[in-house]
Amino acid sequence: MSKGASAATLQKQQVISWADVLTLTGAFLFVLANVTSGSVWLLRAAAALATVAVLSDWKRLATIAKVFVTAGFILCATSEFLLPAGKAAIVERALYQGVGFSSFLSVLGMLRYAVGRSDIIRNAAEYLMSMPGRRRYQAVKVGSHLLSLLFNIGIISLLGQMVAKATEGQDRQGERRSILLAAMRGTVLMTIWSPLGVGFAIITQSIPNLAPTAFIIAAFATAAALILVTTFFHTEVTGQTINAVLDDGDRPSAGPLAITLCACVGLFGGTLAIHAAIDVSPLVASLILLPLFALGWIVYEQRVPISGLAREVKGMVGNMSVMRTESAIYLSASVIGATAVVFLDGRGDFLAELNQLPPSLLAGLCIVAIAASALLFVPHSIVVVFLAQLFGAAAFGNAHPMLLALALSLGWAAGIALSPISAMTITMARLTSTSATTIVLKWNGAFAATVMASSLLLVLAVSFF
């Protein structure tokens, strides 16, 4: 990209809309309500601001987001007027959860503003790409797993651009595919445990008896085991060494990678520290820390003077708009899921009988349901929201919170790998000029099957402890 194009992009990001201001204010009120155990009116005000923000940016929303917002609005209004007070309160609490998810995704836009133009992260990726032979696949997979804590699926696009530049004019499609698959698979497995992932936020917010810190440790150990298992069975050949920038063949420095990993550890530790210090959920802790971290990263890397901080803050707030569609979907999905649970609860003893099934069977069914819905072009995230609300506060979730949380997080990862409409698959399809179904079924099918089989064995083992 030319300097002029970069400047134009940056200038566009620095335009703050009313929707951005409303979203930021709503997020602040949501945090304030949780930190101070404040009045429910703070949550209601946050919900109102989040809703108005979505409506004020209606034209920019994707069609699927408009469908979800419309359905959520109708169901929320219907529950308020037609349901008994107790059941209406369930839907109202789900709306507040949705505000939290929506605020979290919007704040991730701030982090993307900081790391999306980072030379440090680009140099860290170059170091991973400089590894020789089979070690490159392993390095990119593990490195993407860790770097995606900050960059999320952006790491796939970054590596894709670097591979395309390095192999321009050459018939090395297989090599490009292998490196991008390594990046995708590492990023998929990161979603199992990352406190900066929306899946983690949904799970920890929906299971009252779950200890978030213990879950992070268990989920991280699970992800590490899956990295070893899937690398053993599914290591791709990446061909010759690729170096997209250095012409003299010198190996890039490991320094940028070390800096990035230290930043990841700091962000991870800071989130847990805030969670423990003021007794708030990891989601609220992330809402507090992420804007500060993003600004700190910009100041550290760009050496921004005090006089330039206002411009960077403006850019961060303006970049919240890149997550508007996702924010609108999750704001509504929580309400839709809660309404479905309320409906099922009114069907006699259905939920009570469902919760009486063996825990291992319920956990396995959750994983299979999420993966199957993904293959059928149903957004896996919506199914996870529904299952979390269905079981989170019910007998299964109360008695086996860790088992349910692991099942949902493993199902989330499998759903991403198997979904033709997931953001990762769409990004891969664009970078490789390949259909999404080919990526899901032919390229990633065996990997996803290994993840599924390992996940089912794991929940079976956990259910006996």
pLDDT averaged over the chain?
Answer: 86
- Could you state, in order of their start, the residue ranges of all structural domains in the chain? 10-118+271-346, 131-242+348-465
Q: What is the pTM of this model?
A: 0.88
3-state secondary structure 345-390: HCCCCHHHHHCCCCHHHHHHHHHHHHHHHHHCCCCHHHHHHHHHHH
Q: Are 140 and 128 in contact (CB under 8 A)?
A: yes
In sequence order, which residues have a C-beta less than 8 Å from that of residue 257 and are 6 or more positions away? 123, 124, 127, 128, 143
Q: Is the pLDDT of residue 2 over 60?
A: no
Confidence of residue 7 (pLDDT cuts 50, 70, 90): very low
Cα–Cα distance measured from residue 300 to residue 312, given in angstroms and rounded to the nearest whole number = 13
Higher pLDDT pick, 97 / 6: 97
For the stretch 71-85, pLDDT in tens is 999 999 888 888 888
- What pLDDT, on a 0 to 100 scale, did the predictor assign at position 234? 83
In sequence order, which residues have a C-beta less than 8 Å from that of residue 144 and are 6 or more positions away? 128, 155, 156, 159, 182, 183, 184, 186, 187, 190
In percent, how much of the chain has pLDDT > 90?
A: 50
Lowest-confidence region among 104-108, 141-145, 235-239, 431-435:
235-239
Which of 23-27, 163-167, 249-253 has the highest mean predicted lDDT (pLDDT)? 23-27
In sequence order, which residues have a C-beta less than 8 Å from that of residue 45 and are 6 or more positions away? 26, 29
For the stretch 346-403, pLDDT in tens is 666 777 788 888 999 999 999 999 999 999 988 888 899 999 999 998 889 999 999 9
Average pLDDT over residues 312-319: 92
